[in-house]
Structure 1
C-alpha cells in the first residue's frame, strides 16, 4: 500500500514537472509593451504623433529585452545551445534591427536637412520668382533620392524568422515577435518619410494581433490622414506644375511655410527617438555577444 502511494506520488511529480511553467515576469512585461505599441495607433492624433509614441514604446520594449537577456537561465540557454538554429536567428535578427535603424535614421536626417534648406530658401525668395521655382524643383528631386533609398531599405527589411514556434523557450518566441514588431515600426517610419501608405504586414504580428486585432483593424480602416511630408510635397508640386496667378502662388508658399514649421519639430523628435533606440539596440547586441562568448 505504501509502495503504491509512493509510486503515485512519484508519478504526480513527473506530471507536474512536465507541465508548462509560468512565463517569466519579464516576458509578460515584454508582451505588455507590445500591446502598448499597437494601441498607440488608436491613441495618437496624427501620423507623426503615432510614430513618436511607437519609438518611445520600442525603447521601453528593448530595455526589457536587455534585462531578459541578462537572466541566468537565458544566458545559460544561449551559451549551451550556441550552435542551435534559434541562437543564430537571434544574432542575425539583432544585426538586422541595427541595419534597419541606421537606414531609417539616415532617411530622417536627410529629410530634415532638405526641409531646413527649403525653409531657408523660401525666406529669401518669393512665389513666382524663377529662382524660387528652381529651389522647389531641387527639393522635390532630393525627395526622389530619399524615396529611392527608402525603397531599397524596405526591400532589406523582410523578416527571416522561422514560422514554427520554439517548443521549449517562450523567450525565443517573444524575441521573434519583438523583432517583427520593431521592423514594422521602421517600415512605418520610412513610409511616413516617403508620404506613402504602408502595406499590411499583419503576418509579422501574430502575437500582438491576437491580443488587440480589433483595435488595429479599426485603426487601419479609419487612418486616412495624410502625413505632413505628403502635404508639403503636394503643395510644392502645385507650385511648379500648375500655372496660377502670383497671388495664388503666394497662398501656396504661405501654406508650405506653415506646414514646414509644423514638420520641423516632428522630424527632430523622430531623429532623437531613433538615436536613443539605436543606442539601446547596440546594448542588446553587446549583451548577446558577451553571453555567447562566456
Structure 2
C-alpha cells in the first residue's frame, strides 16, 4: 500500500479563516503521514481511520462554535449544504457496508479455524476453504464497485463552485467538503484491502491439493503476499496434513482475525462520528 493517501490538494484561500485552521492541519497531517508506510495493510488503514476520528472531533468542535452555527443557519438554503448532507448519507451507508464485511470475514475465519481443528480429512477442510474463497470473490467484486463509486464521490465534491462571498461560510464549507473527501479516500484504501486478488489456483482446491501432494506446484511460488487476506490465502493453499503447516494456517487466521477486529473497532467509532456530524449539521440548519 502506498505510504500516502492520494487526495487532491486543498484549494484554500491565501489566508485561512481561524475557525477552520485546526481541521486544515489535521487533513494535511493525514495526507502526509509518512509513518503509515511501515505498517501492514490493515495497520495502515487503522491509522487512517484513527486519523479520521481526530478529524471528526475537530469538525464537531467547529460545528459547535456559535459563529459557525450562525453562518450556516443564515445560508441554510445554499445548494452546497444539500450536497454535504447527501454526501454524509452515502458515507454512512458505505461505512455500514464495511462494518458488515468485517463481521462476515470474522465468521468465515472462525469457521476455517474450526475446520482445521477437526482435521477430518481434506474433503471437510476443502468445503470450508471453497466457501471462504467464494465469499472472498463476491466481496472483491462488490469492493471494486464501491471503490469506483468513492472515486466518483471524490470528483463530485467541490464540482460546483461556491458563489457565496462570505469568507467564513466559504471556509467552513470548504473544510467540510475536504473532510468528506478524506473519508472517501480512506474508505477506498479499506476496500482496496478487501479486494485483494483471489487466485484461481486457490479457488480450485482439489486440483491444487493433488498437485501439491505430487510436489508439482507451490502456491507461494513467485507470489508476493501483500496483506493479511493474501497471507491466509497462501497458508490455506499449501495446507496439508502436516502439523507445522496447519499451525501456520492457524497463526495467519488468528492474525487476520485480530486485524479485522481492529478495523471493525475503528469503523465503529467513525460510524458514530458520521452520525453525530450529520445530526449537528441538520440541527443547525433547522433553526
TM-score clears 0.5: yes
Distance in structure 1 (CA, Å) of the matches to 2:284 and 2:71: 10
Question: Where does residue 33 of structure 1 map in the other structure?
Answer: 26
148-157 or 266-275: which moved more?
148-157
Matched residue count: 240
**1:40–1:53: 8 Å Cα contact kept in structure 2?**
no
Over 3 Å counting, the alpha-carbon distance change for 1:225 and 1:124 in structure 2 is: closer
Distance in structure 1 (CA, Å) of the matches to 2:261 and 2:194: 13
1:96-135 aligned within 5 A: 96-125=90-119, 129-135=122-128
Q: Could you tell me how far 1:120 is from its partner in structure 2?
A: 1.6
Match of 1:64 among 58, 63, 67: 58
Question: Where does residue 74 of structure 1 map in the other structure?
Answer: 68
Distance in structure 2 (CA, Å) of the matches to 1:165 and 1:171: 14
**2:144–2:195: 8 Å Cα contact kept in structure 1?**
no
Question: Where does residue 236 of structure 1 map in the other structure?
Answer: 236
Distance in structure 1 (CA, Å) of the matches to 2:24 and 2:111: 42
Distance in structure 1 (CA, Å) of the matches to 2:196 and 2:248: 18
Q: Could you tell me how far 1:124 is from its partner in structure 2?
A: 1.2
Distance in structure 1 (CA, Å) of the matches to 2:70 and 2:98: 34
Distance in structure 1 (CA, Å) of the matches to 2:175 and 2:104: 33
Q: Could you tell me how far 1:25 is from its partner in structure 2?
A: 4.0
**1:232–1:259: 8 Å Cα contact kept in structure 2?**
yes
1:154-233 aligned within 5 A: 154-157=147-150, 158-159=152-153, 160-163=156-159, 165-166=161-162, 168=167, 169-195=170-196, 226-233=226-233
Over 3 Å counting, the alpha-carbon distance change for 1:183 and 1:236 in structure 2 is: same
Match of 2:256 among 263, 285, 289: 263
Q: Deviations over 1:157-214 (max 9, x none)?
A: 2313133553641121111111111011111111112225xxxxxxxxxxxxxxxxxx
TM-score normalised over the length of structure 2? 0.75
Q: Could you tell me how far 1:134 is from its partner in structure 2?
A: 1.5
Q: If you compute each CA radius of gyration, which structure gives the higher value, 1 or 2?
A: 1
Q: Could you tell me how far 1:251 is from its partner in structure 2?
A: 4.9
Q: Mind listing any 5+ residue stretches in structure 1 that lack a counterpart? A: 1-19, 197-223, 240-244
Over 3 Å counting, the alpha-carbon distance change for 1:125 and 1:225 in structure 2 is: closer
Distance in structure 1 (CA, Å) of the matches to 2:34 and 2:112: 30
Distance in structure 2 (CA, Å) of the matches to 1:152 and 1:252: 35
30-39 or 92-101: which moved more?
30-39
Cα RMSD for the two superposed structures? 2.4
Question: Where does residue 269 of structure 2 map in the other structure?
Answer: 276
**1:46–1:225: 8 Å Cα contact kept in structure 2?**
no
Q: Mind listing any 5+ residue stretches in structure 2 that lack a counterpart? A: 1-12, 198-223
TM-score normalised over the length of structure 1? 0.74
**1:62–1:284: 8 Å Cα contact kept in structure 2?**
yes
Over 3 Å counting, the alpha-carbon distance change for 1:21 and 1:46 in structure 2 is: closer
Over 3 Å counting, the alpha-carbon distance change for 1:136 and 1:99 in structure 2 is: same
Question: Where does residue 10 of structure 1 map in the other structure?
Answer: none
Query: Secondary structure of the equivalent of 1:226?
Result: coil
Over 3 Å counting, the alpha-carbon distance change for 1:93 and 1:258 in structure 2 is: same
